[in-house]
Amino acid sequence: MAKKESKKLIYTSGGSINLDQEKVLYKGKRLTEARAAKLGEETAKKFRGRPSLSNKKEESPIVQFRVTKAKKIAIKKRAKAEKISESELLRRAVDLVLATK
């Protein structure tokens, strides 16, 4: 069976429009600049990162730190072996350290 050639799709921006001047409908309702901004914020909240670990109404604090390249490789390898994210592996490591005195 011959392989079907896939066509590359090229996205071309149509430019910007002023939604308060142009009539655009979204789900049957007029889309204004204010409504578009609100929809954008709601969508960003739904898809930004993992759910809050603190509670549903606030974002969890972020902790960042540096490690050696060797440790980063080891973290990645261990997380892959356990089929969890690197972040989840590090959360578990922190929990273990904090649980001991």
Each residue's pLDDT tens digit, 46-67:
766 677 787 777 878 889 999 9
pTM value surpassing 0.75: no
- Residue 3's pLDDT is 64
pLDDT for the residue 65? 93
Supply the pLDDT for residue 42. 86
Angle 46-93-65 from CA coordinates, rounded to 5°: 70
Cβ-based neighbour number of residue 69 at 10 Å: 7
Ranges of the chain with pLDDT below 70: 1-4, 47-49
Whether 82 contacts 89, CB under 8 Å? yes
